[in-house]
Amino acid sequence: MAAKTKVVVIYYSATGITYQLAKAVCEAAGDAGAEVRLRKVRELAPDEAIRSNSGWHAHHLETQEVPEAQPDDLDWADVVILGSPTRYGLVAAQLKQFIDTTGPLWAKGVLANKVYSAFTSTATSHGGQETTLTSLFSVFYHWGGIVVTPGYTDPSQFVAGNPYGASHTSNNGEIAPDSNALGAAALTARRAVQIGTALKAGMAA
């Protein structure tokens, strides 16, 4: 019996919107037969900043038990799915800081030939969803990875509207991911697992 495809979902979330997308990605990957790890990246903001925002503070407490991502999680995985809110059209500094720790793995070539995908959220419409996702793809290209997106491979994507990856507009954190966003997150995960499983089998052969 073939070993399960191993998926790690690594995310940053301040008030919980991106975390909800991450959970949907994990659930769909598990339903697709993968072994899944959920990991958050280390928070860089000072405690006083977190406490000054009730939503941020509540989410920080809610997710204390989620393990922090380590470079070894990338080494372990066949499929890597990263999630971040948008910060000026780019990934959050917390996720970027984690990415910047991966140099030793990159130098050894162990990040190559894996499947990568991504998801994001923004406070406003057109707030940088596509640029955030494509900035992550640039990282994956440097790693030698295979980027898998949801594309328009399912009719739901003509409603969700983002072929680059799952995304959501939260109206400054007031609107939780709806069925369209959660469906796009699930499709992103299923596609990544499907191609990751095929790639793993093909390379083993």
Number of domains observed in the structure of the chain? 1
Q: Which domain holds residue 124?
A: 6-204
Q: Is residue 144 part of a domain?
A: yes
* Cα separations in angstroms, 90 against 58, 135, 137, 142, 150: 25, 7, 12, 17, 20
Q: Is residue 44 part of a domain?
A: yes
Q: Is residue 1 part of a domain?
A: no
Residue 74 has what pLDDT? 98
For residue 18, what are the contacts with CB-CB under 8 A and spacing of at least 6? 11, 12, 83, 84, 85, 119, 120, 121
pLDDT in tens, 134-173: 999 999 999 999 999 999 999 999 998 899 999 999 888 7
Q: Is residue 67 part of a domain?
A: yes
- Percent of the chain scoring above 70 in pLDDT: 100
pLDDT in tens, 171-198: 887 889 999 999 999 999 999 999 999 9
Q: Is residue 32 part of a domain?
A: yes
Q: Is residue 13 part of a domain?
A: yes
Q: Is residue 188 part of a domain?
A: yes
Q: Is residue 85 part of a domain?
A: yes
What CATH code is carried by the domain that includes residue 28? 3.40.50.360
Residue 55 has what pLDDT? 86
pTM assigned to the model: 0.96
